[in-house]
Chain A
Amino acid sequence: MAQPTAAVKKRKGILGGAALLAITAGLCWSLVIAPPDGYQGEVQRIMYLHLPSILTAYLSYFLVFIGSGMYLWKREKKDDLLAHAAAELGVLFTALTIVEGSIWGKPTWGVWWTWDARLTLTAILLLIYAGYLMLRSLIDDEQRAASAAAILGIIGFLDIPLIHMSVYWWRTLHQPPSILRPDKKPWETVHPAMLTALAVSFVGFLLLYFYLLSLRYRVGEMRQEIKALRLERGA
């Protein structure tokens, strides 16, 4: 693996800068410009972080799935590195979602945690992908770890709809979605400044996510390089 060129480093810097800018703009919009919610008041503003974090987490698990499938098919190390990096970030963003949700839940529902369908589903996702990371770390042989993790990355992702269905039948208490409602268009029910705040915040999260992903991916690459160097020098 070659050292990243100056152009790649520059692109990464631009991505990081853009993420910082968009997150700051998103915070301004969600904390200052958007009006407080009619019922929930100021607490609702956490939604501008909550929704982007969970969407980013789902994106991450989708990338784990894609990376795992590609790895099993092509056997190229880069796909495995992608899946690993995405799984770590997915766990991070899921944990973030749960923490934000708890902070919102206490003043709104009166409890930090409740066994509602969407909360439970999110917690199960966290457990599945934490298991994925454990599995990786507990297999010494690198290729075997990659294959085993890829299998889990695939069946874990395919299991999500089934878990979703079962947990939903079991119970539902969470807010019904107010943005993606089947009966009304979002701009009819939600203040436009709120939608803008959410959109800007989401773009910020996406940029931040891809910035972190590129960093984490590079860490994986560097580990490979170190290993190769050690082998070469016979250390």
Chain B
Amino acid sequence: MTLLRQTYLLLGKDLLLELRRRDSVLTMFFFGTLLLFVFHFAFDLPPDKIAELAPALLWLAFLFTGTLGLAQLFQAERDNHCLDALLLSPLDRGALFLAKTGLNFVLMFVVELVVIPLFWVLFNLSAWNLLPRLFLVTLLGTLGFCVLGTITAAITLRARARELLLPLVLFPLMIPVILATIRCMESIMRTGAMTEAMPWLRLLIGFDVIFLTIGILIFDWVIES
């Protein structure tokens, strides 16, 4: 119980900070939107191909914006040596992991909640009824991204050129999430049903559960000073 309570307090603190400054969420949102435009110019998307390519394009945008968020994730703690203070307090490190994962998850998911409909508007897609299912897949994929992302952000925290190193370490590990989310969304958009997407969805849930557990267990070692 203490774990959840500590997580709640830490996450509340981070969200309050973000609410007051709105640094990350705004940059992430504008960057995500910008990427949609860049993709449009790069591919010169023909209207009949857009539905097919939408999952891949959206997830590319989410990967990049998510990485942007991760690079900022421990910024507040780094700047004023708050990390040391946090580590000195009688705090379960698992709670710190959950709170940081939660923060990046909330930021990313808020951005996605806006960017996906925006994609539909910008590219004239008509299948609005599929959005709830796509949001579900995005939710699970984003969770997986944030779980592993938080661990990698923490281990690259003290590296030189850490903003460059982070995606280098993270992206190969993210392959299951990238494949599963894109295949899932693609089959939902093609068939309009969940049946074909189920194996991928299960893989995604498995990934989330496995790395969430590992993260809570090993964060002690990840964050030590």
Contact = CB atoms under 8 A, between A and B. Distances in A.
Nearest to B156: A135
Contact of A148 (B156, B160, B173): B156
A79 to B, nearest CB: 13
A39 interface: no
Interface residues of B, number: 33
Nearest to B157: A148
B9 interface: no
A152 interface: yes
A127 B168 CA distance: 8
B176 A159 contact: yes
Interface of B: 148, 151-152, 155-156, 158-162, 165, 168-169, 171-173, 175-176, 179-180, 183, 199-200, 203, 206-207, 210-211, 214, 218, 221-222, 224
Contact of A152 (B169, B200, B210): B169
A151 B222 contact: yes
A140 interface: yes
Given A162-B176, A166-B179, A131 B203 contact: no
Contact of A166 (B148, B168, B176, B222): B176
A158 interface: yes
Nearest to A129: B172
Given A151-B155, A162-B210, A166-B179, A156 B161 contact: no
Given A148-B155, A151-B221, A163-B175, A131 B200 contact: no
Nearest to A127: B172
Most buried by B among A127, A128, A131: A131
A75 B218 CA distance: 15
A204 to B, nearest CB: 30
B210 A134 contact: no
A167 interface: yes
B187 to A, nearest CB: 12
A165 interface: yes
A147 interface: yes
A173 B122 CA distance: 38
A121 to B, nearest CB: 9
B180 A144 contact: no
Nearest to B152: A152
Contact of B224 (A131, A147, A170): A147
Contact of B179 (A127, A152, A156, A167): A167
Nearest to A72: B221
A141 B151 CA distance: 19
Given A131-B168, A155-B151, A155-B211, A166 B159 contact: no
A165 B176 contact: yes
Nearest to A132: B169
A53 B224 CA distance: 37
Contacts of A124: 172, 175
Most buried by B among A152, A154, A162: A162
Interface string A84-110: 000000000000000000000000000
A123 to B, nearest CB: 9
Given A135-B155, A144-B158, A162 B169 contact: no
A159 B169 CA distance: 13
Contact of A151 (B151, B158, B175, B203): B151
